[in-house]
Amino acid sequence: MNPPPIIYKFGSFRLDASRRLLFSNRQLVPIAPKPLESLLVLVQRHGQIVPKDELIKLIWADAFVEEANLSQNIFLLRKVLGRDREGRQYIETVPRRGYRFVGKVQEEQDPSLDAGVKQRPDRISSRDRLSADLKSRFITSIAILPLENVGADPDMEYFSEGVTESIINALSQIPQLRVIARTRVFRYKGRKTSLQQLARELNVETVVTGRLIIHGDRLTVQIEFTNVADESQFWGKRYDLKITDISETPVEISQDVLTQLRSKLELPGDEHL
């Protein structure tokens, strides 16, 4: 028999353990999957010290990650949760040991999922879509793959690499967004690797792909951002250029990408987080 679904309440927050959703004053809080899983473990064991290595094993069961990934999760959670009424952070760092959730937690059964009550399928579907949408709007790790030089024009190879490097440099300016370095992503140049495999190997949530196509005296650059979890493209743009005007284009494209993402996505380090 499955245990009853639990709602954890602390401060102004309600953490829905079964649906993996966090609310504050009845408003859904945008939060990425890994930080949310970290929060759930800490809240379920509130008042107890959870060792860092144990947290890492629980959150990244099928991947090898560094302690910095966990530190990033805790940083994001503290930014989202703020402080309690007494001015304390909800998550306490215990030096050389781990983390402890120190907020007062109340547990209650979710009445909407009582064993004798069945939800309508359309209601469940709506919640799932909402959760998926929030996850796609919040990114903490990203890999920008080398643009594909369609047609393999050797004269455009330097331009393709220039655009890729400029986007990497631009997104690296975002605090707490982990951007995979050029030396690592360029290893995948020309390789036929699925986005899922690449995301596992690089431990990222989001992958940026692109193509460069020459047609006459014009050049098209297509950029796409993909949420690997559900293989959905949540942003993309096509740039049509004159070949004679491309000297400053890599920087212009990268700055446009940065501006567009900040306006459309929840990015770690943004003020509204």
**Cβ atoms 18, 113 nearer than 8 A:** yes
Calpha distance 236→226 (Å, rounded)? 9
Pick from 93-102, 122-131, 150-159 the range whose average pLDDT is largest: 93-102
- The pLDDT of residue 264 is 60
Fold classification of 141-264 (topology level): Rossmann fold (3.40.50)
Calpha distance 95→225 (Å, rounded)? 38
Query: The pTM is what?
Result: 0.50
> SS3 for 17?
coil
Alpha helices in 82-186 (DSSP H): 121-136, 157-171, 182-185
pLDDT band at residue 86 under the 50/70/90 scheme: confident
272 has pLDDT over 60: no
User: What is the mean predicted confidence (pLDDT) over 148-164?
Assistant: 81
Calpha distance 55→47 (Å, rounded)? 15
Site of tokens 């302690």: 67
Compare 38 and 154 and report the one with higher pLDDT. Answer: 38
- The pLDDT of residue 91 is 93
137 has pLDDT over 60: no
Compare 149 and 45 and report the one with higher pLDDT. Answer: 45
Cβ contacts of 83 within 8 Å, gap of 6 or more: 89, 90
> SS3 for 209?
strand
Query: Is the CATH number 3.30.70.1350 carried by domain 6-130?
Result: no
Residue 250's Cβ-count burial label (10 Å; 0-12, 13-18, 19+) is: buried
Calpha distance 262→95 (Å, rounded)? 35
Cβ contacts of 215 within 8 Å, gap of 6 or more: none
- The pLDDT of residue 115 is 40
pLDDT band at residue 113 under the 50/70/90 scheme: very low
Compare 90 and 138 and report the one with higher pLDDT. Answer: 90
pLDDT in tens, 165-180: 989 988 887 766 789 9
**Cβ atoms 145, 208 nearer than 8 A:** yes
Domain residues of the chain, as ranges? Answer: 6-130, 141-264
Q: Could you write out the DSSP letters of every residue in 215-270?
A: ETTEEEEEEEEEETTTTEEEEEEEEEEEGGG-TTHHHHHHHHHHHHHHHHSB-TT-
Compare 10 and 249 and report the one with higher pLDDT. Answer: 10
**Cβ atoms 84, 103 nearer than 8 A:** yes
Calpha distance 266→163 (Å, rounded)? 24
Phi-psi region of 87 (alpha: psi -120 to 50; beta: other; left: phi over 0): left
117 has pLDDT over 80: no
Taking all residues of the chain, what is their mean pLDDT, rounded to a whole number?
78
> SS3 for 129?
helix
- The pLDDT of residue 131 is 39
